[in-house]
Chain A
Amino acid sequence: EPEVTQTPSHQVTQMGQEVILRCVPISNHLYFYWYRQILGQKVEFLVSFYNNEISEKSEIFDDQFSVERPDGSNFTLKIRSTKLEDSAMYFCASSPSYNSPLHFGNGTRLTVT
């Protein structure tokens, strides 16, 4: 069964550094998402992406964050200048249409020191 692939599985970075989290969504899916889960807290929505543009973003998704679909397969989340509070598990998800189940990757654990 096709799956969403995320790399790396674990990223450690120093405060103030830029990180790029990578995702390969399922190939025929059209909607792409980033969510995050701080340890012990709820899964939170960051951003959705459709038709090569952001369709919605949360208050968390400020100017430090950006997303890109640089080619037909990859979907990336960039954090420009990481803060300690950005430490979390970041999940990429995709879906074939708007009103269909989300397919999640296994996540990237980001640790900011």
Chain B
Amino acid sequence: KQEVTQIPAALSVPEGENLVLNCSFTDSAIYNLQWFRQDPGKGLTSLLLIQSSQREQTSGRLNASLDKSSGRSTLYIAASQPGDSATYLCAVAPGSGTYKYIFGTGTRLKVLA
């Protein structure tokens, strides 16, 4: 059964710092992996989607990498800003062609001005 874990659970950094959020999954047979941002009381916003055949994806100050064999993905945020404060979730689509994304518990990020 696929399990998705994210560490750390919470992170507080000063503005301008580069940071890395971690996601690990137990079954390497995945179809794709998405990183989402969740603001309090709001829905989830998809940040990056990495296909199983890809190693990384970039969007602006965000870079996500995927290492299927080790069951890991990282989200790198460059030059963090207070507006980046949110909960970041990773979600894995299992490799059996299922539509069912399995989510991690998230990392709650606070960027201090």
Q: What residues make up the interface of A, taking CB atoms closer than 8 Å to B? A: 4, 6, 31, 33, 35, 41-45, 48, 50, 55-56, 58, 91, 93, 98-107
Contacts and interface: CB of A to CB of B under 8 A. Distances in A.
A47 B95 CA distance: 17
Contact of B89 (A43, A98, A99): A43
B62 to A, nearest CB: 13
Contacts of A99: 31-32, 51
23 contacts: A4-B43, A31-B99, A33-B99, A42-B103, A42-B104, A43-B44, A43-B91, A43-B103, A44-B103, A56-B98, A56-B99, A56-B100, A91-B43, A91-B44, A99-B32, A101-B46, A101-B49, A102-B34, A104-B36, A104-B43, A104-B46, A105-B43, A106-B41
Interface residues on B, range: 20 to 34
Nearest to B4: A42
Interface of B: 31-32, 34, 36, 41-46, 49, 51, 89, 91, 98-106
B100 A45 contact: yes
A31 B100 CA distance: 12
A102 B100 contact: no
B36 to A, nearest CB: 8
Given A42-B105, A45-B102, A48-B99, A106 B91 contact: no
